[in-house]
Amino acid sequence: SAQIADLQQKLLDADNGDRAKQRWDSIATILEAKCALKYLLGELVSSKVQESKLQSSLEQSQASCSDVQKMLMDERNHTAELETAFQNQILVQEQQHQEKVNRSSWK
């Protein structure tokens, strides 16, 4: 039944495509041509408005992405600095411990 429904939908889509093509092919008068042109210009304007909105949204998303990438890099740098400081602190503590051990062994 799913295949039948799919085939029926494909037939409807093909029929609608043919009907639209026939509609354009059957334009015979200047008035019909004007109406068709008016419709097409309306569609063009609508598409341009949609394109502009999508472009603006894309630019905002790119700016947001750039901000997030900068924050990520800042956090990575901060983490690296903390890790370096931590490693230095461990080294100092190990040296102090080694000195204590050496002093204890001399006594």
| Range(s) of the domain holding residue 41 | 2-75
**Predicted confidence band at 103 (pLDDT cuts at 50, 70, 90)?**
confident
The count of structural domains within the chain is: 1
Task: Give the pLDDT confidence of 58-85 residue by residue, as tens digits.
Answer: 999 999 999 999 999 999 999 999 999 9
Residue 26 DSSP label: T
Asked whether residue 99 is domain-assigned, the answer is: no
Asked whether residue 43 is domain-assigned, the answer is: yes
> How far, in Å, are 30, 49, 70 from residue 40 at the CA level?
15, 14, 44
Task: Give the pLDDT confidence of 2-47 residue by residue, as tens digits.
Answer: 888 888 887 777 666 666 666 777 777 888 888 888 988 999 999 9
Tokens of 84: 């370096």
Asked whether residue 21 is domain-assigned, the answer is: yes
Asked whether residue 37 is domain-assigned, the answer is: yes
pLDDT of residue 77: 98
Asked whether residue 9 is domain-assigned, the answer is: yes
Asked whether residue 83 is domain-assigned, the answer is: no
- The mean pLDDT of 86-91, rounded to a whole number, is 97
Q: What is the pTM of this model?
A: 0.53
Which residue type does 4 have? I
pLDDT of residue 31: 84
Asked whether residue 106 is domain-assigned, the answer is: no
Asked whether residue 11 is domain-assigned, the answer is: yes
**Angle, CA 15 vertex, CA 10 and CA 19 arms, to 5°:** 150
